[in-house]
């Protein structure tokens, strides 16, 4: 297996590593960063004034029931709940996992008693997922990078209930340049993708919220313990990427090999059926092994 290139430490930490994401967005002193980011994500549809951080681990109701562990969870000023996740590679049943996560937060709202008084006054629940290295191809066939999903009528497209929402942000599709950054969300996504490669805060980001972000993210401002934690988190990210890249390359090689074999078989088949050449001559003409030609002939005879 190919070894991952040793990650380099720049002026700023990579906000998409586990350690950095939680340091920048996951603590009470920095909640203004998360509030600003979420308001950018909702693009005026919601305006969050304050947040309270919640526990990240939600155990099952029984010993045998699976629990859920989130990157970040928090509650807004109107009681709505948010799950914020960073996902670096495709996972099996990723959409189902998103539904499981949100349903857990919905079910936990039900009081143990006096449910009739509660009257199913379910607060809004949203999952915001930053997808770093992959796309949810089944969500959309267009080139858009943000997919805002809620329950809707399949026939008319009319929204049935928008208090349960899933916002998937495909960072791999976010390719805007500095000159194309129009909205606050554009700026946030550009920073998340590119900050670790910058050596200073750009002029177009000279506003208090981003100045605070860059100050916290400066590697030299980390404590010795935090630097160790970040270095470990960065290495883990690059190791995982190396494993993924290797798997993708191997899959491409196998697919290419399969295509070549089909082409070889088609050419050999034509020579067998259209000429009286010997197997040795066919093998020479097709640049394949004699065994390959012999197997092809047996297969054709069997048909």
DSSP assignment of 126-179: EEEEEESS---TTT-SSS-SEEEEEEE-TTT--EEEEEEEEEEEEGGG----GG
- Domain assignment present for residue 73? The answer is yes
Q: Which pLDDT does position 67 carry in this prediction?
A: 42
22 plus 77 within the same structural domain: yes
Residue whose pair of structure tokens reads 């070894």 in the numeric block: 3
Query: In this predicted structure, what is the pLDDT of residue 36?
Result: 97
* 55 and 195 co-located in one domain: yes
101 with 163, same domain: the answer is: yes
Does residue 239 belong to any structural domain of this protein? no
Contacts of residue 241, defined as CB under 8 A and 6 or more positions apart, other chains included, come to 4, 88, 133
Domain of residue 279: give its range: 251-302
Single residue among 222, 237, 269 that ends a domain in this structure: 222
Q: Are residues 218 and 265 in the same domain?
A: no
Same domain, yes or no: 169 and 289: no
pLDDT tens for the chain, residues 1 to 303: 444 455 678 899 999 998 999 999 999 999 999 999 999 999 999 999 999 999 765 444 443 444 445 689 999 999 999 999 998 777 778 889 899 999 989 998 988 877 788 888 999 999 999 998 888 765 555 568 999 999 999 999 999 999 999 999 999 999 999 999 999 999 999 999 999 999 999 998 989 999 999 999 999 999 999 999 999 988 887 776 655 555 556 655 665 566 566 777 788 888 888 888 888 888 888 888 888 888 888 888 776
Q: Are residues 187 and 275 in the same domain?
A: no
**Domain's final residue, options 170, 201, 222:** 222
pLDDT score for 40: 96
Domain count, the chain: 2
User: 150 and 62, same structural domain?
Assistant: yes
Distances in Å between the Cα of 138 and the Cα atoms of 129, 131, 153, 175, 184 are 15, 14, 18, 20, 27
Does any domain span residue 66?
Answer: yes
Q: How many CA atoms lie within 13 A of 32 on its CB side?
A: 8
Q: Give the pLDDT of residue 270.
A: 82
3-class state of residue 266 by DSSP: helix
256 with 218, same domain? no
Q: Which among 204, 222, 240 is the end of a domain? A: 222
Half-sphere exposure of 136 (CA within 13 A, CB side): 24
Q: Note whether residue 228 is domain-resident.
A: no
Residues 143 and 218 in one domain: yes
Q: What is residue 71's predicted lDDT score, i.e. its pLDDT?
A: 82
For residue 111, is it within any domain?
yes
pLDDT of residue 88: 79
* Domain-embedded: residue 241: no
Examine residue 233 and state whether it is found in any structural domain, yes or no. Answer: no
Global pTM reads 0.73
Looking at the structure, tell me whether residues 95 and 187 fall in a common domain: yes
Contact 139, 147 (CB under 8 A): yes
In this structure, are residues 161 and 123 in contact, taking their beta carbons and an 8 Å threshold?
no
Residues 128 and 213 placed together within one structural domain of the fold: yes
Q: Are residues 63 and 140 in the same domain?
A: yes
Provide the pLDDT for residue 66.
Answer: 43
Whether residue 178 is contained in a domain is answered as yes
């Amino acid at each position: 297996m190919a070894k991952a290139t040793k990650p380099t430490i720049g002026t700023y930490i990579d906000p998409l590593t586990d350690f950095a994401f939680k340091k920048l967005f996951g603590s009470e002193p920095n909640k203004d960063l998360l509030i600003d980011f979420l308001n950018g994500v909702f693009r005026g549809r919601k305006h969050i004034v304050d947040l309270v951080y919640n526990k990240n681990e939600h155990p099952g109701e029984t010993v045998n029931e699976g629990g859920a562990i989130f990157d970040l969870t928090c509650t807004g000023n109107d009681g709505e709940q948010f799950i914020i996740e960073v996902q670096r590679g495709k996972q099996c049943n990723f959409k189902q996992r998103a539904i499981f996560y949100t349903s857990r937060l919905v079910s936990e709202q039900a009081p143990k008693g006096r449910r009739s008084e509660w009257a199913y006054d379910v607060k809004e629940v949203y999952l915001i997922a930053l997808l770093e290295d992959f796309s949810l191809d089944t969500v959309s066939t267009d080139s858009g990078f943000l997919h805002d999903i809620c329950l809707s009528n399949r026939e008319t497209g009319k929204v049935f209930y928008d208090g349960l929402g899933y916002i998937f942000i495909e960072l791999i599709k976010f390719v805007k340049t500095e000159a194309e950054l129009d909205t606050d969300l554009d700026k946030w996504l550009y920073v998340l993708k590119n900050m670790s490669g910058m050596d200073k805060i750009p002029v177009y980001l000279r506003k208090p919220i981003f100045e605070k972000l860059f100050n916290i993210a400066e590697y030299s401002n980390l404590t010795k313990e935090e630097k160790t934690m970040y270095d470990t988190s960065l290495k883990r990210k690059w190791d995982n990427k190396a494993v993924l890249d290797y798997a993708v390359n191997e899959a491409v090689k196998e697919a290419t090999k399969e295509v070549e074999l089909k082409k070889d078989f088609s050419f050999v088949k034509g020579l067998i059926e259209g000429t009286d050449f010997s197997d040795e001559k066919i093998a020479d003409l097709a640049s394949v092994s004699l065994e390959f030609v012999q197997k092809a002939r047996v297969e054709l005879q069997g048909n």
